[in-house]
Amino acid sequence: MPSYTSTVGTVSLLGTGFSSGVFISHTSRERSANELKPGDTVNRHRYRKRYLRQLLDRLPESFAAKELEVWIDQREVAVGDRFEQAVCLSLIRCSAAVVLVDQDALTSEYMQEEARLLGWRKTLEPDLPIIPVLLGNVSARDFADSPLGRAGGLAALSVLTPTNRKQNEAAARQTAREISDQVGVVPLPPRAARWVDDVAHFISAAPGHALEEAARTLGIGLDTLQAHREKHALVAAALLNSSLPVAYQVIRTIAEYLPAESLTSAKRRLVPLWVDLDHARTLMSVSEAPSQRRIVHLIAGRLLPAQHAVLRASPSPDSVQMAQLSGVAGEDMAAELISRYDDRLRSAMHFHPDDGPADVERYLQHENTVAFALIKCDQVPTRIIKEVVLELMRRFPGIVFALVSAQPAADSTIIRGRRIQLAGDDQADRQTWRLIQRIRALSTEMAEADVD
């Protein structure tokens, strides 16, 4: 589907559909002397920004030869390093991204926010081209050691060092060509874009005034919202990057305008938003490990936050199959547990009783399916859990097994795997739980209002 560009003042926004555009991450804001690093000067800084503007001017024409549009956000000039939620939609829908790394970019909080979303998408879509470009005297080591390089795992990507490291018009033209030559095109719609379209459809019944209030809550300016032809998608993209309290306020604002039956799906589509994006990215990265190493330890007081983490890791609510393997406590025989969980997994994944490990692995690879099995481990003997999990991993290679426990010590000696701390402390866990319950109650409240 082709994309279009709408422009308001100095703000360009990619429009509808799955964009074939290239997102250009950069920091063009001119800083004052007290914002510069020790040893840097205002003249050097201005020289860098002049070259950056020259490069930004050349990139659209270089990509035009490939029939690709570029998304260059000039909003940062006005708002500094504060991340603008309206950028989320373009980050989620872009088909490639270029990260222009000069000395100012290394510590830009604005670009770090963009990098986290791009890193999350890279985990979901390994073929997504993300090209960090080192400008001026920035070295690969400078980038790897910087906050920007660490954000979203960008430092692990291959970087482009331009042939011409000078900072003049000729160098800008040459570098723009080298950048466009490095970027390929992803032919399939990104998963995150499907999530946005799904949520946009979910909130499509909300009238304009409710959508405006939701946009203000999410930090989207009214002018930006009015200028965009896909207002619901813009709000949905910002929801993807919001916290649970903000998500609750937004849904509360528009809930009364949504059909009661739609609210029952709000729990599945919106509740997982409280999970940290870096946690979701780490969780999804486990699915790329060899089949015999697809295990992760989720530290959470309840099973529900672990389910939310899985849902957040996959932006489409139907793209991850989950088999909740609960009820371990009180069982005596590992063989009985293995048999029961075998039946549950086969039922959830539609495997035939005669399907062996090779059939399971071949199916998951062919269907490009990611499957998680959550096992609550608290108050369960370590010996039983270990025996059960190892046998299930043998029978179902390719499935990610997530061991959920309240304390790290409960699972540290079971099986080696990645560890994610989902709840920072009891108070935060309780607060999150209360907010989740409030969102889940929305459908009941709306249904009662309809009866009245």
Residue 178 burial (10 A CB sphere; 0-12, 13-18, 19+): middle
Last residue of a domain, one of 135, 156, 182: 182
List of residues 6+ apart from 290 with CB closer than 8 A: none
Are residues 105 and 42 both part of a single domain?
yes
Phi-psi region at 350: left, alpha or beta (left = phi > 0; alpha = psi -120 to 50): left
Are residues 195 and 154 both part of a single domain?
no
Report if residue 406 sits inside a domain. Answer: yes
How far is 118 from 159, CA to CA, in rounded Å?
15
Look at residues 98, 220, 101, 213 and name the one whose alpha carbon lies nearest to residue 150.
101
Look at residues 251, 234, 231 and name the one whose alpha carbon lies nearest to residue 243.
251
Beta-ladder partners of 11: 8
How far is 411 from 385, CA to CA, in rounded Å?
9
Checking if the pLDDT of 175 tops 90, the result is yes
With H, G, I as helix, E, B as strand and everything else as coil, classify residue 207. Answer: coil
Are residues 28 and 142 both part of a single domain?
yes
- Tell me the two tokens of residue 170: 């000729």
Q: What is the pLDDT of residue 191?
A: 62
How far is 97 from 100, CA to CA, in rounded Å?
10
Pairing of strands 22-25, 96-101: parallel
Are residues 267 and 324 both part of a single domain?
no
Checking if the pLDDT of 338 tops 70, the result is yes
With H, G, I as helix, E, B as strand and everything else as coil, classify residue 100. Answer: strand
Are residues 114 and 142 both part of a single domain?
yes
How far is 393 from 372, CA to CA, in rounded Å?
11
- Read off the DSSP letter of residue 160: B
- Tell me the two tokens of residue 333: 């025989």
Last residue of a domain, one of 182, 217, 233: 182
The pLDDT tens digits for 386-431 are 888 889 999 999 888 888 887 765 444 556 778 887 755 455 556 5
Last residue of a domain, one of 246, 274, 302: 274
How far is 246 from 128, CA to CA, in rounded Å?
29
| Domain CATH for 382 | 3.40.50
Report if residue 362 sits inside a domain. Answer: yes
Report if residue 411 sits inside a domain. Answer: yes
Report if residue 428 sits inside a domain. Answer: no
Checking if the pLDDT of 271 tops 50, the result is yes
229: part of which helix (H) or strand (E)?
none
The total number of structural domains that make up the chain: 3
Are residues 143 and 49 both part of a single domain?
yes
Are residues 203 and 346 both part of a single domain?
no
How far is 120 from 153, CA to CA, in rounded Å?
9
| Domain CATH for 84 | 3.40.50.10140
Task: Indicate if the alpha-carbon torsion angle 87, 88, 94, 96 is positive or negative.
Answer: positive
With H, G, I as helix, E, B as strand and everything else as coil, classify residue 264. Answer: coil
Whole-model pTM: value is: 0.62
- Domain span holding position 258: 191-274
Report if residue 376 sits inside a domain. Answer: yes
Report if residue 195 sits inside a domain. Answer: yes
With H, G, I as helix, E, B as strand and everything else as coil, classify residue 145. Answer: helix
**Least confident stretch, 5-19, 212-226, 272-286, 366-380:** 5-19
Query: Are 49 and 30 a contacting pair, CB within 8 Å?
Result: yes
Are residues 339 and 248 both part of a single domain?
no
Q: What is the pLDDT of residue 233?
A: 85
Are residues 35 and 175 both part of a single domain?
yes
Report if residue 426 sits inside a domain. Answer: no
Report if residue 449 sits inside a domain. Answer: no
Q: How many CB atoms lie within 10 A of CB 39?
A: 6
List of residues 6+ apart from 87 with CB closer than 8 A: 73, 75, 114
Are residues 350 and 389 both part of a single domain?
yes
- Tell me the two tokens of residue 422: 């989902």
Query: Are 402 and 411 a contacting pair, CB within 8 Å?
Result: no
For a pLDDT cut of 90, what percent of the chain falls above it? 18
- Helical packing angle, 244-255 and 231-240, nearest 10°: 150
Look at residues 330, 299, 252 and name the one whose alpha carbon lies nearest to residue 424.
299
Give whichever of 76-80, 258-262, 335-339, 415-419 has the largest mean pLDDT: 335-339
Rg (CA), the chain: 24
Are residues 284 and 321 both part of a single domain?
yes
Question: Per-residue pLDDT averaged across 253-274, rounded?
Answer: 66
Are residues 231 and 286 both part of a single domain?
no
